[in-house]
Structure 1
């Protein structure tokens, strides 16, 4: 009897660990993204061009991910056609070269707390674009549809507050524990320019998610598609950087923060963290993965204010809270849609383009 109870406890323990594994992995992902903000900010303040960083980062990511994509998806890759190559080219523009160049450049004009907070709006922006392009249908007479609409409006209100209202700076309680030197005091003053760059990158990311869902139907090899996007995106970013970056010394890196930030961004973020997200997405779905995004915002705000002594503005705090409230209303509506789709025997009732409704 005692042996049976012990075995039952062991089985229960294994089950709990298995159920909590995706949660632990997504926490690791958000911690990884949190560190990315500060590592890249330190590198840019050290003098590295954000455009050179994006190019080098995806070259590293391509080299790291190629063997995994080649061997693990050898039998899963469909034949590439001209139409697919054109889609990959456009996906690389939206998801890598244009978007990331705007995104990381915005760090020069705002701060990591603001940039991390704006990422939470991607879910709302994606929802708006999906509705406008009829990828998703909203039933305004259903509580789920009402929650999605209200959540989207609340999130966008938070974005407007963060963009248009800077507010008073919060006084630091003590001297920064870790100091990130800046190139100049004026470089962080163009808040409007940084806001426009960040919002534009979030819109491009939203378009990328919608197009990616369509492309994956014809090219269902996620690692290979990601490798292709990193390769093509690196080439696009290199051309863009050569056009606007006239100083050839910008391409030179030494054994300093520039090299380590590039390796971290390419190996850890574009390689390891992307793989974890794909695994969690397969096990629990995109709604589960998206729900952890606000954790990065909270971690960035805590580290920026208490550890790195970054300026924290009242507008960013108020806007972030409003965005997160709206995000979870939207995600609640999406999650209830998923439950209904799973219970429904008629899958045609679900939006065919909605990733949450795929079985």
Structure 2
């Protein structure tokens, strides 16, 4: 299927899915949309959807499902460094919670690399469910331009890392999550449609039948676009730009198992060891983040108590 027609359809359909929630839960909030907020939503749609998804789909075409999702584990590391440089994330290496966050991010990255670089003994625990559909004529799952696909996936990873700080800015200028998600989907659909028309104008590229193409569009629109945008905004609002990307490392584990179960990709000792490392690193990061939030809340309540005590003393002395 033509990549940009898929992106266009799933984005517009994703906006349709979110619109009822926007009208019901955030009624009238669209009136607060101004040029500044619209500009940031346009940037968010381009950086967080149109460009990275185009890179991802084309990179996935040249590699395999498991290899493609491994690069999602690089996103939290890039996002973590970028957030520190932009002042959105605090780095306290001397504290226990700060050290746990840094070590956890590095361990997650190391676990993903272990899955990617070390194979070990292959484990054939089951037969692939749709092996006959996904394998090519030479019996190999995936494409043949591995280097090109790797570069495209790396570009997608870097672009996604920039999208999370952009989400922080979007929440500041337009804090309504449902309308933000819906408008991002609309703008992303227009962007991918415009790019797609410039590349291909034949009807075959934009034609969709009652087959797996339509199922892919509906599924990705409902969960991969509309639900994902809203959940991303919610997580960034509550825990900052690094918290949500850290969970991308779990997709390596899930895709590895599903790739072996459905597509016949190899499940190896290295992939299992790497999965254990990924889980360990994620736990360490979440531990450090929870401790950091606890310290922040404790210090905030202590400051409030001191302010109240100071006011009481001044009132008593007067």
State the alpha-carbon separation in 1 of the partners of residues 199 and 122 from structure 2. Answer: 36
How far 1:76 sits from its partner (Å)? 3.8
How far 1:88 sits from its partner (Å)? 1.1
- Distance change (3 Å), C-alpha of 1:170 and 1:51: farther
- Of 229, 240, 258, which aligns to 2:184? 229
Aligned residues: 299
How far 1:228 sits from its partner (Å)? 0.7
How far 1:55 sits from its partner (Å)? 1.2
* Matching residue of 1:170: 122
1:212 aligns with 2:164: no
* Matching residue of 2:214: 259
More deviation in 281-290 or 99-108? 281-290
- Of 218, 223, 240, which aligns to 2:195? 240
Q: Structure 1, residues 152-192: CA drift from partner, whole Å, max 9, x if none?
A: 333344455566x3756835345323333345657523333
Matches within 5 A, 1:1-359: 48-77=1-30, 79-160=32-113, 165=117, 167=119, 170=122, 172-179=124-131, 180-182=133-135, 188-245=143-200, 247-272=202-227, 277=231, 281=235, 293-312=248-267, 319-345=274-300
Listed as ranges, the gaps of 5+ residues in structure 2 are 304-318
More deviation in 247-256 or 313-322? 313-322
How far 1:230 sits from its partner (Å)? 0.5
Contact 1:64–1:267 (CA under 8 A) maintained in structure 2: yes
Listed as ranges, the gaps of 5+ residues in structure 1 are 1-47, 349-359
Secondary structure in 1 matching 2:255? helix
State the alpha-carbon separation in 1 of the partners of residues 96 and 274 from structure 2. Answer: 25
More deviation in 167-176 or 226-235? 167-176
Contact 1:102–1:201 (CA under 8 A) maintained in structure 2: yes
Contact 1:178–1:307 (CA under 8 A) maintained in structure 2: yes
Secondary structure in 1 matching 2:5? helix
Contact 2:112–2:249 (CA under 8 A) maintained in structure 1: no
How far 1:58 sits from its partner (Å)? 0.4
Contact 1:124–1:327 (CA under 8 A) maintained in structure 2: no
RMSD of aligned alpha carbons: 3.3
- Distance change (3 Å), C-alpha of 1:343 and 1:76: farther
More deviation in 112-121 or 222-231? 112-121
- Distance change (3 Å), C-alpha of 1:77 and 1:347: farther
State the alpha-carbon separation in 1 of the partners of residues 302 and 46 from structure 2. Answer: 33
State the alpha-carbon separation in 1 of the partners of residues 49 and 88 from structure 2. Answer: 23
TM-score (norm: length of structure 1): 0.71
Q: Structure 1, residues 264-296: CA drift from partner, whole Å, max 9, x if none?
A: 111243335655x37974998578866755554
How far 1:254 sits from its partner (Å)? 0.9
TM-score (norm: length of structure 2): 0.79
* Matching residue of 1:35: none
Secondary structure in 2 matching 1:263? helix
